[in-house]
Structures are given as C-alpha cells and as structure tokens.
Amino acid sequence: MKVLAAWSLWPDPPATPGADFRAPDLGPLEAQYVPQRPRRVGRHARLTLVGAAACVAQRVQPIPGNRTGIYLGSGIGNAAEESLVAGQVVCMVMGVSPGPASPVHFANSVSNSATFYAARVTGATGPNVVVSQEEVSFEGALMMADVALQAGEVDCALVGGVDECLEAREGVFLRIDLPADTVLGEGSGWLMVGRDGDGSLGDILASVQIPGAPRAGRDAPDAWAEVAALALAARRDGEDVTILPGLRVDADDARALAALVPGARVQTYLDRCGSFATAAALGIAGIFRPGVAPGLYVHVSRCRIGVAAVVVRRTLDEVRE
C-alpha cells in the first residue's frame, strides 16, 4: 500500500513521566480542521474527527468521495459514552432520575457513530468500518483497508487508530489486560493509503501477526527471527532500519530484535503518549512527521495472539503541514 498522507496527534511536549497522558485541548485543532464540528459529540468522536480531517488536509489532491473508505481501529471505542448511557439507564430503572437516557448520548454510544461523523466531515462516502480487536485494532483496520484496495472496492482509504484515556483506569485494564502500573494514554493516528498515487510518502510493506502463547513473554521461539527476516527481505542496500517497540515490548526485547538486523537502531514513542490499545497508529503515522529521516521502520508489539509487526518504508524527507 502507498501512504498518500499521514497525521498523528503527536505529543509535543511529551507526556509527564509517570503520569497518564491526555491530549491537550482539541479546540485549536478543531478550529483548523473541523470548523463545523457536530454538536454534543463525545471525546472519542472528537479525536476521530480531528484525525481524519487533518489527514485529508495533508493531501493536495481531493479525496475521491464515493471511492474513499474509512477504516477505524479502536480497542475500547467510545466506552465513556457507553458508560454514561448505562448510568442513565440504571438511574432510570432505580427511580433515581425520571425519563429515558438522553437520545443524544444514546445515539453517540453506537460503535460507528464516530466514523459516521468523520465521513460527513471528510466527504468520504465509501465503506465505513470500525475494527475492535483489542491491541491489534489498528493493524486489523489496516488489513481490511488493504483487502478493499486489492479488491477494487475503493481507490483510497483513511485508516485510523483512536482511543481515549478513561477517567476510570480499571476499565482500560479490564478490556485490554495491561499491567496495573502501566502509564496510560490516548491518541489519534491516521494514514491515507492507496494502491498507487503520485507524491506518495512511502509504503506499507508488510503487516503480520505471528502466533504465540497468549500475552507477553511466551511467544513462539522464532517470533523475533520472523520479524527480522521481514525487515531484511525488505531492506535496500545501505538503508537505515529503525525498530519501533510498541505495547509489551520492553527494552530487552527491542535490543534482541535490533541485534538480528545489523545496524538497526531502536526508537521509542510510548514514553511520549502513554500506552493504549491503538498506540501503534500513533507510532506508525508518526514516521511521516516532518523531519523524520527516510528509511525502513519496523513496528512490533505483543498482543493476545503473540507478536504483531508492521514494516513501513518512508521515502520522502518532508511531509506538507
């Protein structure tokens, strides 16, 4: 897949060490990219709208309307909105408050409400899909977009990963099973991809899931070797390789993988934005930020099935702001 545009809510300055990260006020970004934001939408939808509209704005050519699909990955979705509606229903049943749940909140609790709004704002009228597969939700969305592109269903696709940081941390741990001392975060990362196109910024060369035992620490013995083989097969002569460690990939893991790819370096990003189910979207879209060097990037994370890896080549030195 060709990367036609990219945008990420990249934390600058980065998160405060040891504290959960929440994105700053979205108002200025909404004023720039979503001047007519739908009223009374939740934070998950706002993060989605900003990211999708900002990604479209990076592309000089207009998107081809009914030939553009939206594929959103989200590990916990609009859980805050769902919780609010559930609380209203419980209070009504218990007689604490009269009347039904707010129809606005109820409508926004639907899993694809955020992408509905994103389609309205960007003008995309193609397939509209939400993928929720815990911490491989973004990779799942990327895979679905690739299938649609190969089948000729769309000419291009907006692929995003969005999750918000919940006030009740326990909700995150219950849904994606992270260690209790994990520094949580939130973000919105987006790619516009196509099978071909002028002015592409790079390529998604591979997106794989390597089976292993559940969760961190018990992968198939050759998981890192398989990821390294992908990188070596894609690497051009003299090309720089950067390992991007994602969820549940610690410093020792990253060094072990880098050792299998001569000359590879390790670059972290979770320390900037905290951990969340679709942090991979932020890390991968962040490859295309202005000033990032061209080269081969290998994002790797651990998940329920074992190891997930995405191999990306950045080919342009700069991305238009």
**What CATH number is given to the structural domain containing 178?**
3.40.47.10
pLDDT at 62 > cutoff 70: yes
pLDDT for residue 125 = 94
User: Region 245-271: what's the mean pLDDT?
Assistant: 95
Q: Are 206 and 162 part of one and the same domain?
A: no
Q: Are 206 and 160 part of one and the same domain?
A: no
Domain-ending residue, one of 194, 222, 253: 194
pLDDT at 275 > cutoff 50: yes
Which band of pLDDT confidence, cut at 50, 70 and 90, is reported for residue 94? Answer: low
Does 18 map to a domain? yes
Which band of pLDDT confidence, cut at 50, 70 and 90, is reported for residue 39? Answer: confident
pLDDT for residue 43 = 87
Q: Supply the Cα-derived Rg of the chain in whole angstroms.
A: 19
Q: Are 171 and 235 part of one and the same domain?
A: no
Q: Are 176 and 240 part of one and the same domain?
A: no
Does 320 map to a domain? no
Q: How far apart are CA 101 and CA 103, in angstroms?
A: 6
pLDDT for residue 317 = 62
Q: How far apart are CA 134 and CA 177, in angstroms?
A: 9
Range of weakest confidence among 64-73, 171-180, 303-312: 171-180
Does 321 map to a domain? no
What is the DSSP-derived secondary structure letter of residue 64? Answer: -
Q: How far apart are CA 232 and CA 280, in angstroms?
A: 21
Domain-ending residue, one of 134, 160, 194: 194
Contact call for residues 161 and 250 (beta carbons, < 8 A): no
Does 67 map to a domain? yes
pLDDT for residue 76 = 82
Q: Are 179 and 30 part of one and the same domain?
A: yes
Return mean pLDDT, the chain: 86
Q: Are 38 and 144 part of one and the same domain?
A: yes
Domain-ending residue, one of 134, 162, 194: 194
Does 212 map to a domain? yes
Does 89 map to a domain? yes
Which band of pLDDT confidence, cut at 50, 70 and 90, is reported for residue 321? Answer: very low
Range of the domain at 289: 202-314
pLDDT at 319 > cutoff 50: no
Q: Are 256 and 108 part of one and the same domain?
A: no
Peptide linkage before 290 cis (omega within 30 of 0):
no
Q: Are 11 and 136 part of one and the same domain?
A: yes
Which band of pLDDT confidence, cut at 50, 70 and 90, is reported for residue 126? Answer: very high
Range of weakest confidence among 12-21, 184-193, 258-267, 290-299: 12-21
pLDDT at 215 > cutoff 60: no
Q: Are 218 and 178 part of one and the same domain?
A: no
What is the DSSP-derived secondary structure letter of residue 97? Answer: S
Does 119 map to a domain? yes
Q: Are 32 and 142 part of one and the same domain?
A: yes
Q: Are 234 and 253 part of one and the same domain?
A: yes
* Total structural domains within the chain: 2
Q: How far apart are CA 120 and CA 53, in angstroms?
A: 10
User: Region 234-244: what's the mean pLDDT?
Assistant: 96
Q: How many helices (H) and strands (E) does the chain have?
A: 11, 10
pLDDT for residue 320 = 44
Q: Are 83 and 185 part of one and the same domain?
A: yes
Q: Which of 95, 130, 115 is nearest to 47 (CA)?
A: 115
Contact call for residues 317 and 308 (beta carbons, < 8 A): no
